[in-house]
Every structure is written in C-alpha cells, then in structure tokens.
Amino acid sequence: MLEALKKNAFNGKRKGPVVLCIMDGVGYGAFEDGDAVKAAHTEYLNEAMATWPQAKLKAHGKAVGLPSDDDMGNSEVGHNAMGCGRVFAQGAKLVNQSIETGSLFQGDAWTQLTANAKSNASTLHFIGLLSDGGVHSHIDQLKALVEGAKKDGVAKVRIHALLDGRDVGETSALDYFTPFEAFLAKLSDENFDARFASGGGRMNITMDRYDADWSMVERGWKTHVLAEGDVFASATEAITTLRERSGAIDQDLPAFVVAGEDGKPAGPIVDGDSVVLFNFRGDRAIELSKAFEDGDDFDKFDRVRVPNVVYAGMMEYDGDAHIPSRYLVTPPAIDRTMAEYLVASGVKQFSISETQKFGHVTYFWNGNRTGYFNDAVETYVEVPSDIVPFEQRPAMKCAEIADRVIQEVEKGEFDLIKLNFPNGDMVGHTGVFQAVLASLESMDLQIGRIKKAVEAAGGVLILTADHGNSDDMYEHSKKGELVRKEDGKPKSKTSHSLNPVPFLVFDPSFDGEYSTEFQEGLGISSVAATCMNLLGFEAPEDYDASIINFR
C-alpha cells in the first residue's frame, strides 16, 4: 500500500471536482488541409484554445516510451503515460530490444513453441497485423520471428495476416503483403516452407476489443483456424480481387484463405501445431487469446473445434488475468500510478467512457491493471458502444457520457472525474472527413454542457488528449503537399498523427494561485502530476514535472 500524498498550498481551494476530459485523437494540426479539428464548428473548444491557460504537450515517440520520435502515439501508451506520471519503455521498444539481444529466442516460450513444432513435425503459425504502423505490431518483428523459426529448425511456418489501413495508409496493404510474399518465397527451401495461410481486414475479423463485437473474433477463428472462406492462390490475389469486389478499404476487407500448391487451404490450425499472436499491444489481442486458451466454459461463439496447440502472445496482454498464459516478451512493469496514490490519499475517483475506450480510462490508466485499487473510493462506468461503423454514428456515446458526468458533478461525491470522448480517434480512423466533423461538433456540445456544470460546482475542467488523429485526416507528401486520388479528391489518412495535443484549464475560481503561463515542451506524462497538484497534493518526486507552476 502506498503512502498518502502530502498536501500542497492549493489544497481546499476549490469546492468542486477536478474533471479531466480526454478528447481522444484531438491534436494541433500541422496542415490546413485535412485538419478536422480546425475545420469543425466547435465553439467551446475554440473558445478554450483562444482564452484558457494552456500548453501543447508531446504525445508520440520517446515522450510516451516508443522507440523513436518517428513513431506515432496511441491511446494505450498515451493513457499509460498520463496515468502513471512517468515514461516506461513500451511494447514496440521492448520487443525490438528482445529481438536485438536475442533474449526472445532464448526464452522458455519460444523454446516451447519451436520444440513442439519440431517434435510433432507440425506448423508454427503467426497471427497478427501486417504493417509498419508500430502501434499493434511491426512487420520487421514478424520477419525476425520467421527467420528465427528457420534458424531453430522449424520446417513449416504459416502467416495469418490482418490488413491494417488505420495506422498506415487506408489502401496500403499490398505495400506490405506482396514484398512479404517474396520474402517468404526467398526464405523457403527444401527444408523450410513458409507462406501466407489467411487474412482479412483488422476491423472485419479477429481484432475486436473490450468484448464489443465477438462476431469479429468468430470470423477470424473460422478464417485462421478452420480455414473456411474464399480461397485464393496468394494473398496479393486475394487483396486485389476482394478490393475490387467489395470496394472496402484495408481495415474492412473481407476474410480470405490462401491455398497451398495442392489448391487446398495452406494452413488450417490443427492439433499439435504452435501458434503465436505477434501483436504486442493488448487490447485487440485478448479476445483471440481467450478463444485459444479458455476451456469448455468459453461461450462467446461456437469454435466448432479447438485444436490442441502450444499458444503464445508476443506479450502478456492482461497482467491481472494472465492472458495469455505464455508470452515471448515481458511487458513493462508499471507501478505507483496516479489512481493508486489518490486511493491511498482518500481521493474519491469516477472514471467513465463508452466500451471502445473504457479500458483506457481504467486498465491502461492504472498501469495495465484490471479492476479497482479500492472500490470504496473508485467507481467505473462503461457506456455500451454501438456495434456499427463509426462513420454511421459519429456522435458515438458522447451525450450519454456527458449526462452521467454532469450528474456526478452536481452530486458532488467525487473529487476527480475522468472521462474519455472517443470521437476524434474512432471516427478519425474511418477516414470519412464529414463524419469526423460531425463527431467533433457532437463532442463539443457535450464539453459545453460539462463546462457549465463544472462552473456551477466551483470545480476545474481540464481538456487534453492522448494523441492526434482527427487533426490530420489527409495524406501529405514529405514536402507537405496534399496527396490526391485519381479522381482529384484528397487521399484520406486513417492513422494517428505526430502532432502535439492540447492541455487546457478552465478554473472559474482562479485567484492567482498559480502562473497561467504553463510550461511548454512537456509530454502527456506530466498530466498526472498536474492533476495531483490541482487536487491539492504534491506529486511524487520521480513523477514528470507538473505543467502548472503554483505560487
């Protein structure tokens, strides 16, 4: 149990709560074209950016524990950083280090996987997202795994690859799949057979999260495990054909199965095989892991048959539930989070979002920890998300979230209220500019409602974000020129941006207790210390510096 935080000079200065509003995927755009945040009619956010004390925060790269500043931030590492007040080396960096040092290939999990495949003369399967987006996985890491399998004497490898189109260009799949087919062909010889076995768009099959839509996982199971579906001679042929047939962008492409030389599915997963889910990020890896590892009590869908395999994840995706039971790389040990310190200090906390981001304001915020630190002073509320394409419901559940937040502000029972509006990120990933405008305008209306309630309660409202996305909706060249499609329209961008994010403070009872010139150049990990200060406490000495200088 952590010791209670020491009180600071601001303690007791406000009668209302601190309300921390995370506008997921809202940053400061670098380009006029495609900046939906700037283009949207958002009166309240515009007023905040024009008049509230503020700072721009770093939300990507090394500032959130990623390998380099060329790496875009994401919601998971962003909420980790904000929630623990420090920067930990994150998934991509840890996996890279493990591969570079060779420790991954010397670990027990890898040894068990390869030994099983060799002793049974069976297949080692790799399932995951095939791109260089670096948010869930990285193609270079998969290459290293395949090469490692050959080096360690595995005879047969099959790849079950998911198309990205969210963390990279929306129709960039062939830039990864076709060269990877060539890589596998070159690596194969009389003693080693490696090829694609199945695939499909990440938002169509396999990569659901937070139990939002298990039918996605069921479609993935049928594709990867049972090898059911349309069969093609190659992954390239499948993507080309299905793209023309469906008109879908990569993330939504229908599932496909790849044939072997005999024309039959090249890689159903059967008894005696080994399976690796090579995504390192946890949220969209947990459900498939459960499908492989849960026993007869699994009730999410009919798996038809459950092969007896040696299964491993790239990392442990849920440290409390220990999912999966076997993993290649140990995740960061994030301790002493902001929520845990506040619990020790008797601070009552309320956290809310809809399904798509509920785990971010709870699990990821709490250092990849499931459940409460102390349910006597913490309350979590999940608003069920709609199971429809986000561009069809761009408002998402922001009104319902705001309703409950306002209710709790007025009741006055909580000291800290934390919420996530997913709109700018989840709708931003669709690439539909009009829908993103609508999503941001819907969110803005709710921010206005919350602001009014906070003012009446004598509290403090903070607007910030975990990373950019909706601020960069069109592709630009390295020279900054707008990229256009054949029809002359701008090419949509569906991935996150590298742009800074806002930190804006509305404090209607302000009486000179701190400087309104906020510190610039900090990362979003500084949000934790700042919130602690505004709640009336000194932050731990090793937390990253507060954005606000108190007098």
Output DSSP code: residue 362. I
Which residue's structure tokens are 């009486």? 511
C-beta atoms surrounding 182 within 10 Å: 11
DSSP 257: E
Do residues 547 and 530 make contact, with C-beta atoms less than 8 angstroms apart?
A: yes
Residues 75, 289, 492, 525: which is the catalytic one?
75
How far is the C-alpha of 412 from the C-alpha of 407, rounded, in Å?
9
Neighbours of 243 (CB within 10 A): 18
Q: Report how far Cα 196 is from the mean position of its chain's Cα atoms.
A: 26
Interhelix angle 433-457/398-411, rounded to 10 degrees, is: 10
CA distance 264 to 122: 17
Which run of H or of E encompasses 145?
Answer: helix 139-151
Active-site residue flag, 188: no
What is the residue type of 362? Answer: T
Q: Shortest CA distance to 506 belongs to which of 546, 450, 545, 440?
A: 450
Which 8-state DSSP code applies to residue 78? H
Q: How far, in Å, CA of 331 to CA of 280, rounded?
A: 9
Report the C-alpha gap between 508 and 457 in whole angstroms: 10
Query: Please, how many CA atoms are within 13 Å of residue 426, restricted to the half-sphere of its CB?
Result: 29
The answer to whether the beta carbons of residues 343 and 375 sit under 8 Å apart is no
- Kindly give, in sequence order, each residue whose CB lies less than 8 Å from that of residue 296, ignoring residues fewer than 6 positions away: none
- Upper half-sphere CA count for residue 49 (Cβ side, 13 Å): 15
Spatial neighbors of 369 by CB under 8 A, at least 6 apart, are 319, 320, 337, 363
What whole-number distance in Å separates Cα of residue 380 and Cα of residue 349?
Answer: 9
Single out the residue of 430, 410, 411, 408 nearest to residue 419, CA to CA.
408
Whole-angstrom distance, CA of residue 527 vs CA of residue 336: 15
3-state secondary structure of 161: strand
Looking at the annotation, which residues are catalytic? Answer: 75
